[in-house]
């Protein structure tokens, strides 16, 4: 939800921290703050709003001499959970003495009782945040060693955290810790960068250590000392980041979302690279690390996810049932984790998550492990918590996704799930020829997506019809039902139009009451099972004078005569058609938001990965 950066070394500490914050701004952007240790003194600036505002304040308030004297610092960009986005609630927060400063990503669940205990011992608080309680606790545990004070304090804490702590008395040290929220340490020559994710580190190094739950570390310019809360040393591997700095720039596009929509042909090519064996008619998913016998023993699949990833899961379900004949459910992760699901050793739970950090999906993974199910992850961020805890899975290789609205991850997630269905299907009901045909179909998807992107101008023109609306419906059937849900989500989250996705057959059971001239309907009429019934549903909408826009398959004259405002996308197989339809809907939502002047990359009230419940 929030973004944390820390730096210790000889470069301009403020520059490193502010550029790191800019890279993490997509995680939360309602307020920000920075603190440096310069000349043995702590200096702090906090502000409401974007990082740009903070940078202005720093430029106005900190002299060059002060900045030059800094050898270490921490910074934070916030997505408020406890206490409104005000300057008092922005991070860093100080302890009672003001000599310890702390930034935090996560939620301290027992902060209420801790605060009352501390107030009982004479502490006074400046903010409504849970985080300030942690700073006071560290200050209270301090006995000359910051590393030990942080470890001691965390023993009293329940909840999730990624924290970075500095103290006036320890200019050469930043103490960090994680439990449930992502945190990594980037290793540089004579320096170190700490961050919530690799996008803030990549400009400095590719050598990173992913901290794990329960880790606390003292980070110094000459090295990192990692221990558990009992101060027992623990060993952590150094990983290599496999993408470069330009990947996190806009590359000439107006928005990251637009760049990522446009990256889909290349991202999808990377997703299938080395995984389609047309001669054997099979998919090679080595990260699954399952023998044919273990795959044959899977009698049920449960896809768990949230948001866009859930809709990708719901789309993949059709392929897993249709191609492999395995009973499959797609479940909202927060529901799955608390529902005491009926799963066992012959079930496979697949956690679908772009960031690999979504709290509810992570908890679903842990629940599945408790139940003895086979667990796999479908993630985009390499080394993310879900990927590590699932311990087997399939990476999307779609490259970093910065725009809060997920786009390229969706299309890669669907393609991965179709490959998974092929892998299971070949062991059950698919012949080599059928498998080979599916390999050819998937190999053609990147080029077909390129052809959808080529219709950008036409889609922008249609978006002008949608932009004035305050609400809209998206309807689909069968494999296109989740695509309708995804189309509505994209429009909702970036343009603030109240869009609802419905299974078209549901309209008559209530929602149709809302239809009138002011409520446009986007109908998914691609030539897959359910199309003919969809034509009837479109007739019902037209009969209520609702403006209808459609997405359909190239050359479909019947649709063209029924719905003049139509986006025609190339024909492909049933299970990959949703990818083409959704790319068209991503562009539609993008242009509606652009026409409405919305902050497309950082929609209000949202954050890229939801690391708290
Ligand atoms: C999608 O545009 C949203 N950003 C959100 O619904 C997202 O899909 C959801 O939070 C899941 O994130 P994940 O894929 O990183 O787990």
Mean pLDDT of 287-300: 94
Kindly give, in sequence order, each residue whose CB lies less than 8 Å from that of residue 613, ignoring residues fewer than 6 positions away: 107, 334, 359, 360, 363
Residue 96 CA to residue 83 CA, distance in Å, equals: 19
Mean pLDDT of 201-206: 91
Separation of first and last alpha carbons in the chain: 11
**Is the Cβ–Cβ distance between 405 and 273 less than 8 Å?**
no
Q: What is the pLDDT of residue 528?
A: 97
Ligand 1 mutation pick, 316, 337, 406, max ligand atoms within 8 A of CB: 406
Strand, helix or coil for residue 224: strand
In this prediction, residue 101 has a pLDDT band, given cuts at 50, 70 and 90, of very high
Query: Separation of 389 CA from ligand 1 center, angstroms?
Result: 19
Neighbour tally for 278: CB within 10 Å: 15
Answer whether 0.85 is exceeded by the pTM: no
358 lines ligand 1 (CB under 6 A): yes
Q: What is the pLDDT of residue 244?
A: 66
Query: Separation of 609 CA from ligand 1 center, angstroms?
Result: 6
Mean pLDDT of 321-347: 96
Atom nearest to 607 CA in ligand 1? 4
Q: What is the pLDDT of residue 40?
A: 85
In this prediction, residue 322 has a pLDDT band, given cuts at 50, 70 and 90, of very high
**Is the Cβ–Cβ distance between 410 and 580 less than 8 Å?**
no
140 lines ligand 1 (CB under 6 A): no
Q: 301-325 in b/e burial notation, b at 16+ Cβ within 10 A?
A: bbbbbbbbbbbbbbbbbbbbebbbe
In this prediction, residue 260 has a pLDDT band, given cuts at 50, 70 and 90, of very high
150 lines ligand 1 (CB under 6 A): no
pLDDT value at 496 more than 90: yes
pLDDT value at 84 more than 90: no
Q: For the chain, what is the mean pLDDT?
A: 95
Residue 175 CA to residue 165 CA, distance in Å, equals: 5
Query: Separation of 488 CA from ligand 1 center, angstroms?
Result: 14
353 lines ligand 1 (CB under 6 A): yes
Tell which residue, 7, 42, 67, has the closest CA to residue 169.
42
Residue 292 CA to residue 309 CA, distance in Å, equals: 27
Tell which residue, 210, 217, 184, has the closest CA to residue 4.
184
Query: Separation of 510 CA from ligand 1 center, angstroms?
Result: 28
Give me the residue label for tokens 């699932």: 390
Kindly give, in sequence order, each residue whose CB lies less than 8 Å from that of residue 579, ignoring residues fewer than 6 positions away: 268, 411, 414, 415, 445, 449
Residue 88 CA to residue 440 CA, distance in Å, equals: 58
Q: Which residues are catalytic?
A: 2, 608
Q: How far is CA 379 from the centre of its chain?
A: 9
Ligand 1 mutation pick, 28, 256, 260, 307, max ligand atoms within 8 A of CB: 307
Pairing assessment for the beta strands 521-525 and 471-476 based on DSSP bridges: parallel
Residue 288 CA to residue 494 CA, distance in Å, equals: 35
Q: What tens digit of pLDDT does each residue of 360-397 get?
A: 999 999 999 999 999 999 999 888 889 989 989 999 99
195 lines ligand 1 (CB under 6 A): no
Residue 301 CA to residue 536 CA, distance in Å, equals: 33
pLDDT value at 241 more than 90: no
Residue 485 CA to residue 478 CA, distance in Å, equals: 12
Of 183-187, 236-240, 351-355, the range with the lowest mean pLDDT is 236-240
Atom nearest to 355 CA in ligand 1? 15
């Amino acid at each position: 939800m929030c973004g944390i950066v820390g730096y210790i070394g000889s470069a301009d500490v403020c520059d490193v921290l502010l550029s790191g914050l800019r890279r993490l701004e997509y995680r939360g952007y309602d307020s920000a703050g920075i603190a440096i240790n310069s000349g043995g003194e702590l200096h702090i600036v906090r502000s409401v709003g974007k990082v740009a505002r903070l940078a202005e304040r720093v430029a106005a308030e900190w002299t060059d001499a002060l900045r030059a004297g800094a050898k270490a610092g921490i910074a934070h960009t916030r997505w408020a959970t406890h206490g409104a986005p005000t300057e008092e609630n922005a991070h860093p927060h100080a302890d009672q003495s003001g000599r310890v400063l702390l930034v935090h990503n996560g939620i301290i669940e027992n902060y209420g009782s801790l605060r009352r205990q501390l107030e009982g011992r004479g502490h006074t608080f400046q903010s409504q945040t849970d985080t300030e309680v942690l700073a006071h606790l560290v200050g209270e545990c301090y006995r000359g060693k910051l590393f030990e004070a942080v470890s001691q304090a965390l023993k009293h804490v329940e909840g999730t955290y990624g924290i970075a702590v500095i103290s006036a008395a320890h200019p050469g040290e930043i103490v960090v810790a994680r439990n449930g929220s992502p945190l990594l340490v980037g290793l540089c020559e004579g320096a170190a960068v700490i961050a919530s994710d690799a996008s803030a580190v990549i400009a400095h190094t590719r050598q990173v250590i992913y901290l794990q739950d329960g880790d606390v570390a003292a980070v110094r310019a000459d090295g990192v000392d990692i221990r558990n809360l009992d101060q027992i040393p623990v060993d952590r591997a150094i990983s290599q980041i496999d993408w470069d700095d330009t990947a996190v720039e806009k590359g000439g596009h107006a928005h990251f979302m637009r760049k990522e929509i446009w990256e889909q042909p290349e991202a999808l090519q990377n997703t299938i690279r080395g995984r389609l064996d047309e001669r054997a008619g099979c998919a090679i998913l080595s990260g699954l690390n399952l023998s044919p016998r273990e795959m044959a023993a899977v009698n049920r699949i449960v896809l768990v996810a949230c948001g866009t990833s859930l809709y990708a899961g719901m789309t993949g379900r059709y392929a897993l049932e249709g191609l492999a004949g395995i009973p499959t459910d797609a479940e909202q992760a927060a529901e799955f984790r608390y529902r005491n699901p009926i799963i066992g050793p012959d079930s496979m739970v697949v956690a679908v998550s772009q960031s690999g950090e979504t709290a509810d999906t992570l908890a679903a993974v842990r629940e599945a492990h408790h139940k003895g199910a086979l667990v796999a992850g479908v993630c985009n961020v390499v080394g993310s918590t879900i990927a590590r805890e699932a311990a087997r899975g399939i990476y999307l290789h779609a490259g970093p996704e910065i725009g809060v609205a997920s786009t390229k991850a969706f299309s890669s997630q669907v393609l991965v799930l179709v490959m998974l269905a092929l892998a299971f299907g070949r062991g059950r009901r698919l012949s080599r020829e059928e498998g080979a045909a599916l390999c050819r179909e998937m190999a053609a998807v990147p080029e077909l997506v390129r052809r959808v992107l080529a219709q950008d101008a036409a889609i922008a023109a249609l978006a002008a019809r949608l932009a004035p609306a305050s609400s809209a419906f998206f309807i689909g059937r069968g494999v296109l039902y989740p695509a309708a849900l995804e189309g509505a989500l994209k429009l909702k989250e970036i343009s603030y139009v109240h869009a609802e996705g419905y299974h078209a057959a549901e309209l008559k059971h209530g929602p149709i009451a809302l239809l009138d001239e002011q409520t446009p309907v986007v109908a998914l009429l691609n030539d897959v099972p359910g199309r003919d019934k969809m034509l009837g549903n479109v007739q019902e909408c037209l009969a209520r004078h609702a403006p209808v826009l459609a997405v359909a398959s190239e050359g479909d004259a019947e649709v063209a005569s029924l719905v003049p405002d139509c986006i025609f996308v190339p024909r492909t197989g049933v299970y990959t058609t949703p990818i083409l339809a959704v790319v068209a809907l991503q562009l539609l939502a993008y242009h509606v938001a652009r026409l409405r002047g919305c902050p497309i990359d950082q929609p209000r009230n949202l954050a890229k990965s939801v690391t708290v419940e």
